[in-house]
Structure formats: C-alpha cells, structure tokens
C-alpha cells in the first residue's frame, strides 16, 4: 500500500511524457509551449497542466465575459469561450496569453441558472447533468431506470430550457456509487466487509498523515485497514456524502506513518503526484482502480450534479453536486480511487457512474481541489523524503528525470503489464493481481477478496452507498 515504505522501482511521469497503460493509445504531447511567434495572438501549444493553469487565470481576467473553457487535445490548445459580442481589450489579452478565443451564446451564469431549473424540476434518481464547454450547453443524462412519467418529466424540463441551452441523452447503465480504487482498503461493519480505496495521500491541517477517499466510504464505515482481515490503520476524520461533494479525509492512526504522494498503478510501478490540478473539459486523464486497473479517458463536463437512488429510502434521492464528468470506465470496486493526469496532477476521486469497462459509460469524480479546500489538508507527505512528492515538488524520483514512453509498447493484463512509464519497461507477464490486492467479490456488503494475487471481480456490487 502506498503509505508503507516498500522498495520498488520508482518510475516518475516526466513533464511531457506519456502513460501508455491499459487500452490507452496516446500521442506524445509537446513538453513546452509553442515557440511560434509569427503572431502575438496565435494560440499556444500547451500541456494539459499548463492549459488548466491558464484557464484559471483567464477566468479571473475575463470576469463575466468568461463562458467556460476546454482543452483541445488534437491541437493541444486551450479554447476559451466568451459571450457573443464581447470584443474588448481583455479578450485581446486572453489571446495574447496563448488561448484560442471562441464566441458563444450562453454565459456561465445562464448555464448555471439552467442547472438550477433542473435541480428544482427534475431531481430524479438516475439523472445527472454537467456543463460542457465544448458545446456551450448543459448535457443531461438519464440512466436505464428513468422511464415512463419520470422520463416525461425530465424530457419536458430539458425541452423547456431550449435546444440551444441543454441536450438530453440516455445511458444504458445505472448510476451508482462505485467501491474501491488504487490501493484497496477495507472496513468490517455489521453484515460483512465494506471495501473502498485510497485516493491520494495528504497531510491534514494538524500535520498528521492522512489520505483522501470517497465520501460514501467515510459515511459507510469509520475505521479502515489495508487488508480484509487486518487491524485498522486509519480512522475517518471528515466525510461528505451526499450533498456538496463526495469525499472523506481519513487519518492514519500511527502519526509516524510515511505516506508518499504517489499512485500505485500496479506492476511494481508508481506515479509521482506533484500537484493538485483543476479539471478542464477535454483533458485526458487516468483512473486507477483495484478492480479494473489503470484506465484512461477524457473529462467531458464540470460542475456535475448526480442523483443517485437512495439506499435508505426507496423513494429518496442522494444528490451530489460539484463533480467532474468523464467517459473513463469504472466498475464496482473502483470508488475512492485516484484520477490524475500524465504530468502527475491529482484531479479527482472516483465517486460513481454507470456502465462498466466492457460497454463503457459515464463516471463522476470528486474534484481534489475542492476536497483539499474543504478538509484543510494539503497534497503530499511532509516527511516522505526521497519517495514523496509533496506540495514543493517531487523528490529524487520526481517529474523530469525519465524519458518519454515508447508508444509501440504492448499492453498487459488489466493495463498493467507490457508498457512503460517514463521510459522504464514493465514486465509483460505482470498482472494487476501480482502487485496489488486482488479485486475480489463485492456481494451486498460482504465481499470476499482473493488474496492470491489473481483476484477477479464477478461484476456484483455492494448494495449501499459505498
């Protein structure tokens, strides 16, 4: 587990290099901004991390003229939306800063007002909506349980917003909180074992070593272990779910615990986490889960609201707001796991979604930046030494020490074997189970894990908001 000092090959993701694990087939981005100075207003070629930073700066600069932004991975440019008719010196400054400016019809305020209408008139279990800067619309999604009168209600509400404001689509799966992620963690509760996952190690506001995970995990159980039959090693300090987020701060019981800022991606490899990063639509991201291994996808929406069916009230709704929407796949056993970028930016914690890693689907994540602000924690471990990558930057295995990956490397089982991270090859015969806890069975809160290293999830899920 990442909180222990275990000798392993330290493999950092270098700035501009690529994680090419799982089914991912990734193009190598430029490491630096474009040096083309043929026009002062020409959009710059940017890494996703730099684009995220620029987007935050331009939002402050543009004020009410700012209508969202997204990262165009094809051109590697930041596209900033501005309200139609705005053509002033501030926009000129945005172009000079390196962004591509696009005029749109809907302001952020108008889109948020539309989302409020959905909340008031269509808070139905199995629905979700998010702001998509690429279309300048609210994208509303209904899962397979939304039928009959509920579908008519949702459809009528979306139509009332207008086709230029909102779109409606169906999802084949069912929205549900997922369980587990990077490193499996367990808690014994009445009725069986609850399984979740460590997201990112952090330092609590009082200096204690801690980690972030999903809020529905912290609500489900108070004490957590790094093995199904082991003694508790950490205790929940704060938990939010449902409501304004889905995150927990869990403190290690031993104050001397070394909790390096890294993600275990299996196969004896780790990814150094060097900073917390704001989500940007269009950015490619990677999710680590103890059930499905390392998967990649794209951020598709921000400020997402998800209406989960309440597990305690059959007619109730557990509404969670402020999430990130993605097309990254996930399955039961992946909650709480880490969402990060190829440059070592911590982006999110797995919350829930629909579908699986066979047919795909939507997956929602708790933004790390929001969780850190709410809990008062800081990313990284102040005492992790050479293995840590706290807020000040990576240690001796930090970003920039390794080279780019070979795009032709072949993927291993569960996206773990047969690839390179930062230039170091992985044993093609390695599997997800050999370097991490087996995926095990999640059956109505009494999941049993295969400790042989060959764990496999049977597709079941916990019946509860875990």
Active site residues: 216, 246, 335
Cis peptide bond prior to 242, omega within 30° of 0: yes
Residue-by-residue DSSP string for 194-211: EEEEE-EEEE-TTS-EEE
Strands 378-379 and 338-340: unpaired
Q: Looking up tokens 């790390």, which residue turns up? A: 368
Whole-number Å distance between alpha carbons of 411 and 367: 29
Whole-number Å distance between alpha carbons of 405 and 298: 20
φ/ψ (deg, to 5) at 141: -125, 135
The token duo for 358 is 């066979």
Q: Residue 324's closest CA among 262, 275, 368, 273?
A: 368
Phi-psi region of 63 (alpha: psi -120 to 50; beta: other; left: phi over 0): left
Residue-by-residue DSSP string for 104-127: ES--HHHHHHHHHHHHHH---TTE
With b meaning 16 or more CB within 10 Å and e meaning fewer, what string describes 338-371?
bbbbbbbbbbbbbbbbbbbbeebbbbbbbbbbbb
Strands 338-340 and 284-289: antiparallel
**In contact, 334 and 290? CB cutoff 8 Å:** yes
69 three-state secondary structure: strand
**In contact, 186 and 438? CB cutoff 8 Å:** no
CB neighbours of residue 148 within 10 Å: 7
């Amino acid at each position: 587990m990442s909180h222990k000092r275990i000798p392993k090959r330290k493999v950092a993701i270098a700035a501009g290099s690529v994680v090419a694990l799982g089914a991912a087939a990734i193009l190598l981005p430029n490491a630096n901004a474009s040096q083309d100075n043929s026009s002062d207003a020409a959009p710059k070629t940017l890494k996703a991390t730099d684009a995220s930073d620029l987007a935050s700066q331009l939002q402050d600069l543009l004020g009410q003229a700012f209508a969202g932004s997204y990262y165009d991975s094809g051109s590697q440019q930041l596209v900033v939306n501005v309200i139609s008719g705005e053509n002033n010196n501030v926009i000129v400054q945005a172009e000079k800063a390196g962004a591509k400016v696009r005029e749109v019809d809907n302001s952020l305020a108008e889109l948020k007002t539309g989302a409020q209408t959905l909340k008031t008139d269509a808070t139905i279990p199995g629905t979700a909506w998010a702001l998509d800067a690429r279309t300048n619309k609210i994208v509303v999604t209904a899962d397979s349980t939304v039928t009959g009168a509920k579908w008519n209600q949702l459809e009528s509400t979306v139509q009332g917003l207008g086709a230029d404001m909102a779109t409606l689509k169906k999802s084949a799966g069912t929205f549900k909180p997922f369980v587990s992620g990077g490193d499996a963690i367990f808690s014994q509760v009445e009725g069986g074992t609850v399984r979740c996952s460590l997201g990112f190690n952090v330092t609590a506001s009082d200096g204690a070593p801690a980690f972030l995970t999903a809020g529905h995990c912290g609500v489900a159980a108070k004490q957590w272990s790094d093995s199904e039959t082991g003694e508790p090693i950490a205790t929940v300090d704060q938990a939010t779910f449902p409501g304004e987020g889905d995150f927990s701060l869990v403190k290690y019981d031993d104050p001397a615990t070394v909790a390096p800022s890294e993600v275990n991606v299996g196969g004896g490899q780790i990814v150094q986490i060097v900073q917390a990063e704001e989500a940007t639509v269009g950015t490619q991201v990677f999710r680590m889960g103890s059930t499905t291994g390392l998967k990649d996808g794209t951020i598709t929406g921000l400020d997402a609201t998800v209406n989960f069916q309440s597990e305690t009230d059959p007619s109730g709704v557990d509404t969670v707001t402020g999430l990130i929407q993605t097309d990254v796949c996930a399955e039961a056993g992946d909650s709480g796991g880490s969402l990060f970028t190829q440059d070592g930016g911590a982006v999110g914690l797995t919350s829930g979604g629909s579908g699986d890693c066979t047919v795909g689907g939507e997956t929602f994540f708790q933004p790390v930046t929001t969780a850190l602000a709410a809990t008062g924690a800081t990313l990284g471990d102040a005492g992790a030494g050479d293995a840590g990558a706290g807020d000040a930057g990576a240690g001796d295995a930090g970003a920039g020490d390794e080279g780019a990956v070979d795009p032709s490397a072949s993927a291993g089982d569960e996206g773990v074997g047969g690839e390179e991270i930062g230039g170091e090859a992985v044993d093609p015969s390695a599997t997800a189970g050999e370097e991490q806890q087996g995926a095990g069975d999640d059956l109505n809160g009494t999941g049993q894990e295969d400790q042989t290293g060959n764990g496999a999830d049977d597709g079941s899920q916990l019946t509860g908001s875990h």
